[in-house]
Amino acid sequence: MRSAAFLFAYSLKRVRTLILTTGLLLAGLQLVLIFVAGSIQSSGGFDQLAALIPPFARQLLGPSVVTFMSFSGIVCLGYFELAVMGALIALAVTLATVPASEVEIGIMDLILARPLARHWIITRTVVLTTLVSAFMLALMVAGTWVGLELFAPAGIAWPSSKLINSLAINLGMLTLCWGGVAMAIGAASSRRSVAGGAAGLLALATFLLDYVARLWQPAEKIAWLSPFRYYNPFDLITGNTLPYRNLLVLGSIALAGFAAAYALFARRDISH
């Protein structure tokens, strides 16, 4: 147990710069978005933007687009903006593939030559990925509230804390889901680039599947396979409550990934 605690502390120390940099960037982005949203709101720009959307486009995109063209909508954008989602998923994949990197470098030989059970390698990675994902979301939420305090125009309605928390929780589960998938791949791999690349490609493919399915009906039949299907920020922004089914599906994928990682890493040969 002492060795495992030492391994965890050491692993955390190694990624601390990455975590802090990414966290501060994501929190900073919330501040920027709120500053921009406040500026647009003060200049009456949202009404003009909404008026520019032709009626057929409103009908096609639904009421969410109008809701999105608001102060609250832009504030929430930080939770489903492609770069933010990409950064969070990339961070989770990076952390989840630490074992593959350790095998590749050769340090895993020295670690496992000590009296340390293999499952601690995966437990360390699960804990690290989960804690870091939660920390990232916590920093983003903190950034949102700090930004609202600093830059929200007077008298404007803020998004509710329930909405922000729902977005953060759903996005956090999506991040963890990809962490689980990457961990399962990484546990069987001896190359981080292979594991990370495979997880990244899978994420991109399923993201595109979800995206295409929203525009093209036939793809809808298989869209349930995409984890991105279980993160609907626009539904939340329009006032719907967070569906627990989404959390359940994403959480189950994450857990299945973690379980697969334990099983695969326990049985594999460590060779680089």
Partner 1 sequence: MAPISIRGLTKRYGNVLAVNNLSLEAIQGEILGFLGLNGAGKTTTIRILLDLLRPSSGNAFILGHDCQRDGLQARANIGYLPGEMGIYSDLTGREVLDLLAGLSGHVINVSRRRELQERLEFPESDLRRRLREYSTGMKRKLGLIQAFQSDPLLLILDEPTEGLDPLMQESFYKLLVDAKQHGRTVFMSSHVLSEVERVCDRIALVRKGELVLLSSMEELHKLAARTVRVLFSEDVPSPRSWKLKVEGPLGPLLQTIATLPVHDIEIEEPKLEDVILKYYRGGHQ
Q: Which stretch binds partner 1 (CB under 8 A): 105-113, 173-181, 194-202, 205-213?
A: 105-113
**What is the distance in angstroms between the CA of the first residue and the CA of the last residue of the chain?**
27
Q: Hey, what are 245's tokens? A: 């089914």
Rounded to 5°, angle at Cα 208 from 207 and 211: 90
Min dist CB 173 to partner 1, Å, is: 31
Q: Is 20 in the site for partner 1 (CB under 8 A)?
A: no
Residue window 154-193: x/- pattern of binding to partner 1, with contact defined by CB under 8 A: ----------------------------------------
Indicate which single residue of 19, 84, 89, 111 sits in contact with partner 1 (rule: CB under 8 A): 111
- 28-39 burial, b at 16+ Cβ within 10 Å, e below that, comes to ebbbebbeebbe
Pair 136, 210: CB distance under 8 Å: no
Nearest Cα neighbor of 173 from 125, 234, 230 is 230
Q: Is 14 in the site for partner 1 (CB under 8 A)?
A: yes
Q: Is 7 in the site for partner 1 (CB under 8 A)?
A: yes
Pair 147, 79: CB distance under 8 Å: no
Q: Is 271 in the site for partner 1 (CB under 8 A)?
A: yes
Min dist CB 259 to partner 1, Å, is: 20
Q: Which is nearer to partner 1, 107 or 150 (CB)?
A: 107
Indicate which single residue of 12, 31, 65, 116 sits in contact with partner 1 (rule: CB under 8 A): 116
